Homo-oligomer: A and B are copies of this chain.
Amino acid sequence: MSETVVLDVDVKSPIERVWNALTDSATLSRWMLFKSNDFQPVVGHAFQFREADGWDGVIDCEVIEVDEPRRLSYTWVSDQLGPSNLQQSTVVTWTLTEAGGGVTRLRLEQSGFDSEARQEIGGARYGWTSMLDELQGVLAST
């Protein structure tokens, strides 16, 4: 059985600005938990998210889809095993929709979890909830 984590948030910000926050490497560093990244919005580009507070690992990623400003997708594999000792090879997909009134509906999906990896799934939900809060803060502040 496989599981997908899905979070939806309505952001009071134009779609192009939300897209920029998801695809500009420096802006990503402002709201992602990871300290650095070499992301580029180019299909086939391999990149990493590196290091977070209290965690010195690396997330290996590769861009799968870039459909500006509507859809962005990349693979996501941690170099460290989580508490379940199950390697999780997942895919992160962002979907942006204009909801009217200057609001952008943003959907985050992380798919491909083994549903037995309950702690990793819980950790992903917790981490993305926290990052989406940070993202909203960054979009409100600039």
- For A6, give the chain B residue with the smallest CB separation: B4
How many of chain A's residues have a CB under 8 angstroms from any CB in B? Answer: 19
Contacts of A121 in B (CB 8 A): 125
A46 interface residue (CB < 8 Å to B)? no
- For A133, give the chain B residue with the smallest CB separation: B1
Assembly stoichiometry (copies): 2
A100 interface residue (CB < 8 Å to B)? no
**Besides the known contacts A1-B7, A3-B5, 17 further A-B residue pairs in the complex with CB atoms under 8 A apart:** A1-B8, A1-B9, A1-B129, A1-B133, A2-B7, A3-B8, A4-B6, A4-B7, A5-B6, A6-B6, A6-B109, A7-B115, A115-B125, A115-B129, A118-B125, A121-B125, A122-B122
Query: Mind listing 27 A-B residue pairs with CB under 8 Å?
Result: A1-B7, A1-B8, A1-B9, A1-B129, A1-B132, A1-B133, A2-B7, A2-B8, A2-B9, A3-B5, A3-B6, A3-B7, A3-B8, A3-B125, A4-B6, A4-B7, A4-B8, A5-B6, A6-B6, A6-B109, A6-B111, A7-B115, A115-B125, A115-B129, A118-B125, A121-B125, A122-B122
